[in-house]
A and B are shown apart, each in its own frame.
Chain A
Amino acid sequence: MADQVHLQRLCSQVRRDIVRMVHGASSGHPGGSLGCTEFFVTLYFDLLRIDPTRFSVEDQGEDLFFLSNGHISPVFYSVLARRGYFPLRELPTFRKIDSRLQGHPTTHEGLPGVRVASGSLGQGLSVAIGAALAKKQNGDEHLVYSLHGDGELQEGQVWEAAMFAPNKGVDNIIATIDANGQQIDGPTDEVMPLRDIEQKFAAFGWDTLLIERGNDLAAVQQGLRAAQKRTGKGKPVMVIMRTEMGAGVDFMEGTHKWHGVAPNDEQLETALNQLEETLGDY
Chain B
Amino acid sequence: MAKQFTNSGDKDTRSGFGAGLLELGRTNTRVIGLCADLTGSLKMNDFKEAYPDRFYQVGIAEANMMGIAAGLTIGGQIPFTGTFANFATGRVYDQVRQSIAYSGKNVKICASHAGLTLGEDGATHQILEDIGLMKMLPGMTVINPCDYNQTKAATLAIAEHEGPVYLRFGRPKVANFMPENQTFEIGKAITLREGKDVTLAATGHLVWSALEAAETLAQEGIEAEVLNFHTIKPLDEEALLRSVSKTGALVSAEEHQIAGGLGESLAATLVRRQPTPQEFVGVNDSFGESGKPLELLKKYGLDADHLLQAARRAMSRKA
Contacts and interface: CB of A to CB of B under 8 A. Distances in A.
A157 B67 CA distance: 9
A154 interface: no
Contacts of B74: 57-59, 64, 115-116, 127, 130-131, 134
A138 interface: yes
Contacts of A164: 58-59, 61, 64, 68
A117 interface: yes
B24 to A, nearest CB: 15
Interface stretch (A15-23, A89-97, A118-126): A118-126
Residue among B66, B71, B105 with the highest chain A CB neighbour number at 10 A: B71
B32 interface: yes
A59 B73 CA distance: 9
B68 A157 contact: no
A224 to B, nearest CB: 21
A117 B99 contact: yes
Contacts of A119: 98
Interface string A103-142: 0001110000001111110111111111111110110100
Contacts of A106: 102-103
Nearest to A57: B74
A117 B32 contact: no
Interface in A43-94: 57-59, 64, 66
Interface string B1-39: 000000000000000000000000000000010000000
A117 B71 contact: no
Interface string B70-114: 111111110100000000000000110111001111000000000
B77 A137 contact: yes
Contacts of B67: 123-127, 129-130, 157, 161
Contacts of B95: 123, 126, 157
B54 interface: yes
Contacts of B70: 116, 126-127, 130
Given A117-B98, A120-B98, A137 B32 contact: yes
Contacts of A133: 56, 68, 71-72, 75
A167 B240 CA distance: 50
A61 to B, nearest CB: 9
A35 B70 CA distance: 28
A219 interface: no
A134 B71 contact: yes
B75 A116 contact: no
Contacts of A120: 94, 97-98
B63 A160 contact: yes
Contacts of A132: 71
Interface in B40-63: 53-54, 56, 58-59, 61, 63
Interface string A143-159: 00000000000001100
Contacts of B68: 126-127, 129-130, 133, 161, 164
Given A119-B98, A161-B64, A126 B75 contact: no
Given A131-B74, A137-B32, A126 B103 contact: no
Contacts of A200: none
A157 B64 contact: yes
A273 B252 CA distance: 67
B69 interface: yes
A16 B56 CA distance: 45
A252 to B, nearest CB: 28
Contacts of A107: 102-104
Given A117-B99, A117-B103, A120-B94, A130 B63 contact: no
B261 to A, nearest CB: 27
A133 to B, nearest CB: 6
A138 B65 CA distance: 20
B64 A118 contact: no
Give me the 5 closest cross-chain CB pairs, A-B, nearest first: A130-B71, A134-B75, A126-B67, A160-B64, A160-B61
Given A116-B103, A160-B61, 6 more contacts: A57-B104, A106-B102, A130-B68, A130-B72, A130-B79, A137-B32
8 contacts: A58-B75, A115-B74, A116-B103, A126-B70, A126-B95, A133-B71, A135-B75, A164-B68
Interface of B: 32, 53-54, 56, 58-59, 61, 63-77, 79, 94-95, 97-99, 102-105
